Amino acid sequence: MTADVAPAIPTTRTPAPARRPLLNTRRLTDVLSHAYIWLCLIVFVLPFLALLGYSFTGPGGTRPAQNFAYVVSSFGDNLLWSLKISALTLVINVAVSLPAAYAIVRQSFPGKRLLFSVLTLPLYVPGAVIGISLVLTYNFTYHLTTSMWGLVLAMSLGTFPLMLTPLVVALKDLPIVFEEAAECLGATRWQTYRRIVLPLIGPGLSAGLLLCFIIVFNEYLVTLFVHPPGLTTAPLRVFNQIRTAGLSPTTAALAVTMQLISFAAVLLFFRLFGTRHLKGTYLL
């Protein structure tokens, strides 16, 4: 009697799943991207941290707080002049830019692109060239070299495009149907602009205010050419101090104070409005 033999069943071994490499291409790209961002952050922030650290030093065991107390007592007038010049410049820029931006966006006329390019020309001209041009103009035409308003108008000339550009962006993002609806409901052109247009372009206006304030508050090159005698802004005071006496801890404390004021303005803007109106498409 022959025993039944079960047929052999072929067995197949399931191959083990391939182990993923610990560092694939995508992960390597992410690591390098984050490393690049941190490297840029360190490169840009390190000079400010070095200045901040130097402002807390002092000869002869001077306490760090005394450097900043000296800023308030000896450089307070310079900071006030910088804030005053900045405020007056912002007022002039707003008064000129609001109607100019509205006309550029809402009206159609020949040469609009060329006009906008000419109005933004100061953005592409070096500060030294603007300063020399203003010196010639003020000396031979307007005689404003001894007036505070000469410096204010010079700052307005250099920063006017920074106010105009965000307003143009904001107005292009605002559909005209809002204005048409308000006029259909009986609003006048002024009421429409004041109650509809101006609130809706508020973030663009605030972006222009921020950009102009940062530039004017920290500008020294144009100020060097056209400032009247007896008027020294904080950036110009820092420049004069470094040129004559080197970088002392008190001068470093003044520079840190200026940077903290600018940084506080930027943080306030980001807190209230974000970054939408500081970027955007090209305009016309």
Task: Kindly state the average pLDDT of the residues 209-221.
Answer: 89
In b/e form, how buried is each residue of 274-283, taking b as 16+ CB within 10 angstroms?
A: eeebbebeeb
Average pLDDT of the residues of the chain: 81
pLDDT one-digit tens code per residue, 150-184? 889 889 988 999 999 889 988 888 888 888 888 88
Task: Kindly state the average pLDDT of the residues 199-224.
Answer: 87
Q: 3-class SS at 205? A: helix
pLDDT of res. 217: 92
d(C-alpha 72, C-alpha 67), whole Å = 9
pLDDT of res. 22: 52
pLDDT of res. 85: 93
Structural domains of the chain sorted by starting position, each given as residue range(s) with its CATH number in brackets:
2-50 (no CATH), 56-278 (1.10.3720.10)
Band (222; pLDDT cuts 50, 70, 90) = confident
The pair phi, psi for residue 167, each rounded to 5°, is -70, -40
Half-sphere exposure of 142 (CA within 13 A, CB side): 17
Closest CA to 212 of 161, 250, 173: 161
**Taking each helix axis from N to C terminus, what angle separates 25-55 and 64-74, rounded to the nearest 10 degrees?**
70
pLDDT of res. 76: 85
More confident residue, 116 or 277: 116
pLDDT one-digit tens code per residue, 34-92? 888 888 888 888 888 888 888 887 655 556 677 788 888 888 889 999 999 999 999 99
Whether 57 contacts 219, CB under 8 Å: no
pLDDT of res. 281: 39
pLDDT of res. 13: 60
Task: Kindly state the average pLDDT of the residues 96-116.
Answer: 87
pLDDT one-digit tens code per residue, 115-133? 888 888 888 888 888 888 8
